[in-house]
Chain A
Amino acid sequence: MNQRNQFNLRIMNRLWLRFSSVCMLVGLLSCSDYEQTVTTMNQLVMQDEFDTNGAPNSAIWGYDIGTGTNGWGNNELQFYTDRKENVTVQNGYLIITARKESYQGSPYTSARLLTKGKFEQAYGRFEARIRLPWGQGMWPAFWMLGADIDTNPWPAAGEIDIMEFRGQEPSTVLGTVHGPGYSAGESISKSYTLKNDRFDTGFHVFGIEWTPKYVNFYVDNVLYNQITPADVPGEWVFNKSFFILINLAVGGSFVGSPNNETVFPQTMLVDYVRVYK
């Protein structure tokens, strides 16, 4: 999508926000005239509704275990495990639990699930319904990495952060892309803040719609950002297969460490993960 279309999108976005409150009064049905199209891809290709209690479906999900290098490159403080204390499916939810416990030399434990080698896809709609944890130092994420990362190291492989969250900013999430020349502090990012609500008290839908021409970021029924090849100051690497990651990190450079007011354990509840094309 070119710059002009993007501009139009932003205007529509603003219009939608402005009219949304009016629409709520009038009734949701009558506001379709003003509502932008949040999603267009509706053909389901992969889903996990987390309906079977126990360990997550191993045909879809694998795990990163341990601390990686330098806390997974971010000075994160947790040790990731696949123990049921850190990751389990119960009552229709994937539950990732961050615990404060001394484990293998780390002060916290948690879990990181990924579909690497199990489900990888280029383009489509990637969506999850999640209730987030809260408190200083909690860093949950629903994100993607280029499937060729083992031979094409980050940031060249590309990263799409569908949702990242800082526990100390309970009403705000971020959607971001990282690639060669625009990673970490230079990544292309935008935040979305709920009005009179927060992400740790109920479930919200976080998703992207990804085509060869753009990545659209949405929360619930609000499309809040579009990133196109023209927006990135380097090579557009979002033209190949990516895999999905869901994790709950503790501490690290993005959020800072937990403090003595951070309540443990903390849970990230995932109602579903769905991928459409």
Chain B
Amino acid sequence: MKNIKVISIRIVVLVFISLILSNCERNLSGDVEFARFSTNPEVFIDGFSSGLQYFPFQGSKLDAFKVDTEVRYSGSSSMRFDVPNFGDPGGAFAGAIFPDNGGRDLTDYDALTFWAKASQSATINEIGFGSDFGENKFIVTLNNMRISTAWTKYTIPIPDPSRLVVEKGLFWYAEGPENENGYSFWIDELKFEKLGTVAQPRPAINFGQDETMDTFIGTTITIPGLTQTFNLASGQNVTVSAAPSYFTFKSSNVDVARVNENGTITIVGSGTAKITAILAGVRAKGSLTINSVGTFVPAPIPTRNPANVISVFSDAYTNIPVDFYNGFFAPFQTTLGGAVNIGGENVIRYTQLNFVATEFKNPTVNLSQMTHFHVDIQIQEPINPGDFISIELGDFGPNNVFGGGDDSSGRVTFTNTALSSNTWISLDIPLAQFGLASRNNMAQIFFISDATISTLLVDNMYFYK
């Protein structure tokens, strides 16, 4: 009954449109059925369903997947996945996609379900559907799925089934060794289902957090933390990572910020805009409020004679080879970001700063002829008492490599009273103030705030005499 209703509404709409367009001479017959892609819900029951293909990920163990006729939940076979040991020359992990490139219409279903067990208790890193080695427009990932040695039924809900009119990616997974050890897991009766009990949707963007961010015209920001959570018949809540295309994003002020269907925000004006989203009619928890300071003002252009400068990062000079502007030193570093281009200007932008290093050890730099370090910084947030920025130089010593007991480092700190927000601060620091034992093998520049200052722009890092 329901299906007929839907079709008749579509017919009404179509007839209406065709009346408008052409004052049509012939109406659509009442028997008209719109073409649909295959609605086959089966992925792997006792073999590959019609159209299903197998493509391993690059770098994965190519023969990790087999059809197993001995171990199975029901029927005659199951899917077996052999996760390699650490160091396996065949590949570092197991991972693949199983697409049907003909496309399937999955709008009638609300979840991908399967039975699974493993040779040992394990946590599968990523498992889901919607990966097609193309746009992955509607990719869904269940992260860290616990699996045991007993056959158990798993449910991966579809964030919004109405979007899956022609979905190619029917199943995908990626899993590495557990504590460097390989193991096997089996999946059987893999299919899409209409469970009817996938309920209480609670979508989220930005990890469900309401966050405010200061930025400027020309910046692009991708909204992180896109998830959909459902309550299942078991009473359990399941949260999956959902592709941005499931969401409809909204900017409260499109003269300040615009957001596209990929969840990418582009700052186009000054002022404030709040980015929110809806998934299948449900308002997503979390938001991103953009405070745009307007046009980005570049740092002052250096005027020193290039002959007297060794430049690490500046559009005004030829820079020395740099290994990175953000070492992402795990696990203590929170700092994100690095070199970005804003309207043609190269600048370094750090967010969630606690500390961060720029490293240039190939080769290290001899600063014996230099007298000062220059840098322009801009702090994109209010300055509070207790805020500080320390700049630390690191020299690798005569052995020219990190460690070995001959390294030296030293820092100069600028406290809140020496800082101001949203304006370029030009610092010229005598190298002597860093108190280094050696500066003939310079390799590192650190910015340290211990999270007192979160968002920092950096430009024109150079040594001079």
Question: Which residues does A use to contact B, with CB under 8 Å?
Answer: 134-136, 167-171, 195-198, 200-201, 261, 263
- CB of B368, distance to nearest CB on chain A (Å): 59
Additional A-B contacts beyond A134-B199, A196-B197 (12; CB < 8 A)? A171-B197, A171-B233, A196-B194, A196-B195, A196-B196, A198-B196, A198-B197, A198-B233, A200-B231, A201-B199, A201-B200, A263-B200
From the candidates B194, B197, B202, name the one contacting A170 in the complex (CB within 8 A): B197
> B403 in the interface, Cβ–Cβ < 8 Å?
no
- CB of A139, distance to nearest CB on chain B (Å): 13
- CB of B364, distance to nearest CB on chain A (Å): 51
How many angstroms from the CA of A197 to the CA of B233 in the assembled complex?
Answer: 8
Are A170 and B237 within 8 A (Cβ)?
Answer: no
Question: Which residue from chain B places its CB closest to the CB of A198 in the assembled complex?
Answer: B197
How many angstroms from the CA of A171 to the CA of B231 in the assembled complex?
Answer: 11
> B30 in the interface, Cβ–Cβ < 8 Å?
no
- CB of B406, distance to nearest CB on chain A (Å): 51
Are B196 and A170 within 8 A (Cβ)?
Answer: no
Q: Which 3 A-B pairs have the closest CB atoms?
A: A196-B196, A168-B235, A201-B199
Question: Which residue from chain B places its CB closest to the CB of A197 in the assembled complex?
Answer: B196
**Chain B residues closer than 8 Å to A171, beta-carbon distance:** 197, 233
Are B199 and A169 within 8 A (Cβ)?
Answer: no
Question: Which residues does B use to contact A, with CB under 8 Å?
Answer: 194-197, 199-200, 202, 231, 233, 235, 237
Interface of B is mostly: loop
Question: Which residue from chain B places its CB closest to the CB of A262 in the assembled complex?
Answer: B237
- CB of A12, distance to nearest CB on chain B (Å): 26
- CB of B349, distance to nearest CB on chain A (Å): 35
How many angstroms from the CA of A37 to the CA of B70 in the assembled complex?
Answer: 50
Interface of A is mostly: loop
How many angstroms from the CA of A218 to the CA of B199 in the assembled complex?
Answer: 24
**Chain A residues closer than 8 Å to B235, beta-carbon distance:** 136, 167-170
How many angstroms from the CA of A195 to the CA of B202 in the assembled complex?
Answer: 23
Are A198 and B237 within 8 A (Cβ)?
Answer: no
**Chain B residues closer than 8 Å to A197, beta-carbon distance:** 196-197
Can you list 10 A-B pairs with a CB-CB distance of less than 8 A? A134-B199, A136-B235, A170-B197, A170-B233, A170-B235, A195-B196, A196-B196, A196-B197, A198-B233, A263-B200
How many angstroms from the CA of A263 to the CA of B194 in the assembled complex?
Answer: 25
How many angstroms from the CA of A24 to the CA of B241 in the assembled complex?
Answer: 37
From the candidates B196, B199, B202, B233, name the one contacting A263 in the complex (CB within 8 A): B202
- CB of B456, distance to nearest CB on chain A (Å): 35
**Chain A residues closer than 8 Å to B202, beta-carbon distance:** 263
How many angstroms from the CA of A140 to the CA of B38 in the assembled complex?
Answer: 43
**Chain B residues closer than 8 Å to A136, beta-carbon distance:** 235
In this complex, which of B199, B233, B235 has the most chain A Cβ atoms within 10 angstroms of its Cβ?
B235
Question: Which residue from chain A places its CB closest to the CB of B193 in the assembled complex?
Answer: A196
From the candidates B194, B195, B196, B231, name the one contacting A134 in the complex (CB within 8 A): B231
- CB of B111, distance to nearest CB on chain A (Å): 12
**Chain B residues closer than 8 Å to A195, beta-carbon distance:** 196
How many angstroms from the CA of A200 to the CA of B198 in the assembled complex?
Answer: 11
Are B199 and A170 within 8 A (Cβ)?
Answer: yes
How many angstroms from the CA of A268 to the CA of B233 in the assembled complex?
Answer: 19
**Chain A residues closer than 8 Å to B199, beta-carbon distance:** 134, 170, 198, 200-201
- CB of B65, distance to nearest CB on chain A (Å): 32
- CB of A104, distance to nearest CB on chain B (Å): 30
How many angstroms from the CA of A195 to the CA of B197 in the assembled complex?
Answer: 9
**Chain B residues closer than 8 Å to A196, beta-carbon distance:** 194-197
- CB of B207, distance to nearest CB on chain A (Å): 16
**Chain B residues closer than 8 Å to A200, beta-carbon distance:** 199-200, 231
**Chain B residues closer than 8 Å to A168, beta-carbon distance:** 235
- CB of B203, distance to nearest CB on chain A (Å): 13
How many angstroms from the CA of A169 to the CA of B199 in the assembled complex?
Answer: 12
- CB of B235, distance to nearest CB on chain A (Å): 4
How many angstroms from the CA of A261 to the CA of B200 in the assembled complex?
Answer: 12
How many angstroms from the CA of A263 to the CA of B202 in the assembled complex?
Answer: 10
How many angstroms from the CA of A14 to the CA of B38 in the assembled complex?
Answer: 36
- CB of B228, distance to nearest CB on chain A (Å): 15
How many angstroms from the CA of A196 to the CA of B113 in the assembled complex?
Answer: 14
Are A134 and B197 within 8 A (Cβ)?
Answer: no
- CB of B401, distance to nearest CB on chain A (Å): 48
How many angstroms from the CA of A143 to the CA of B78 in the assembled complex?
Answer: 48
- CB of B460, distance to nearest CB on chain A (Å): 48
Question: Which residue from chain A places its CB closest to the CB of B231 in the assembled complex?
Answer: A134
Are B233 and A134 within 8 A (Cβ)?
Answer: no
Question: Which residue from chain A places its CB closest to the CB of B196 in the assembled complex?
Answer: A196
How many angstroms from the CA of A261 to the CA of B194 in the assembled complex?
Answer: 25
Given contact pairs A170-B231, A196-B194, A196-B195, A134 touches B237 in the complex (Cβ within 8 A): no
In this complex, which of A169, A195, A261 has the most chain B Cβ atoms within 10 angstroms of its Cβ?
A261
- CB of A26, distance to nearest CB on chain B (Å): 12
